[in-house]
A and B are shown apart, each in its own frame.
Chain A
Amino acid sequence: AQKVTQAQTEISVVEKEDVTLDCVYETRDTTYYLFWYKQPPSGELVFLIRRNSFDEQNEISGRYSWNFQKSTSSFNFTITASQVVDSAVYFCALLVSGGYNKLIFGAGTRLAVHP
């Protein structure tokens, strides 16, 4: 069975702090994709990143970075020097290749960044 666990329900930080959002996934397939989406108060899900199971290279995009570790089935997301605009719900999602393009989402982590 495929499953995504985001154990942190809510995180509260003060602006400029670094924050890491955890994501643990379960799948028996060897080919899969992992995603992070941001859901601001407006409600739209905004795509942040996609990684495939064969590429464990970490990625950095501005203040965002992602750490993919197959050994622990984790795909964690770090925001450096957080800003108030980062306040949102963040979802990690899993897509297994070979079938339909079906995303399985975690329950999300609500991040509140205070000035």
Chain B
Amino acid sequence: EAGVAQSPRYKIIEKRQSVAFWCNPISGHATLYWYQQILGQGPKLLIQFQNNGVVDDSQLPKDRFSAERLKGVDSTLKIQPAKLEDSAVYLCASSLDRQINEQFFGPGTRLTVL
């Protein structure tokens, strides 16, 4: 069974530029999560989708971050414009549904903002 795929694995941009990350969850998983992991910290949930609808985006900085999952499968997370403090690893995870299921994580995208 293929795992959660993410691309790119690494990205370096300058502040005020835009960047987008892509995630393809495990086939059949209805719930998709984006986490931000700052160096030395645990992952923090940014947004959670159930199929193509947002169920929790309370910690997403909506003035610069956006995410979509239009067809209920893969998802993109965008930052526009980026700030220095956005440097982090962005992890995508998926689970079968919103119930208490194991979340499967992708390898992450390491973003460096200069």
A: residues with CB less than 8 A from B are: 4, 33, 37, 42-47, 50, 52, 91, 93, 95, 97, 100-103, 105-108
Q: Which residue of A45, A52, A108 is within 8 Å of B105 (Cβ)?
A: A45
Q: What A residues does B31 contact at CB under 8 A?
A: 101
Q: A100-B55, A107-B41, A107-B42 are in contact. Are A45 and B48 (CB under 8 A)?
A: no
Task: Verify A47–B42 contact, CB threshold 8 A.
Answer: no
Chain B interface residue bracket vs A: 20 to 34
Partner of A103, one of B3, B55, B98, B103: B103
Bound form: Cα–Cα A53–B101 in Å: 15
Given contacts A42-B107, A43-B89, A43-B108, whether A101 and B42 have CB atoms under 8 Å apart is no
Q: Are A101 and B104 in contact (CB under 8 A)?
A: no
Partner among A37, A43, A103, A106 whose Cβ is within 8 Å of the Cβ of B45: A103
A-B contact pairs, 28 of them (CB 8 A): A33-B100, A43-B89, A43-B91, A43-B107, A44-B105, A44-B106, A44-B107, A45-B105, A47-B103, A50-B100, A52-B100, A91-B42, A91-B43, A93-B42, A97-B100, A100-B48, A100-B56, A101-B31, A101-B95, A101-B98, A101-B99, A101-B101, A101-B103, A103-B45, A103-B103, A105-B43, A105-B44, A106-B42
Flag whether B102 is at the interface (Cβ < 8 A): yes
The interface centre, meaning the residue of A45, A50, A52 with most chain B CB atoms within 10 A of its CB, is A45
Q: What is B's interface to A at a CB cutoff of 8 Å?
A: 3, 31, 40-45, 48, 55-56, 89, 91, 93, 95, 98-108, 110
Do A47 and B89 touch across chains, with their CB atoms under 8 A apart? no
Instruction: Flag if A105 contacts B48 (CB, 8 Å).
Output: no
* A14 vs chain B, min Cβ distance (A): 25
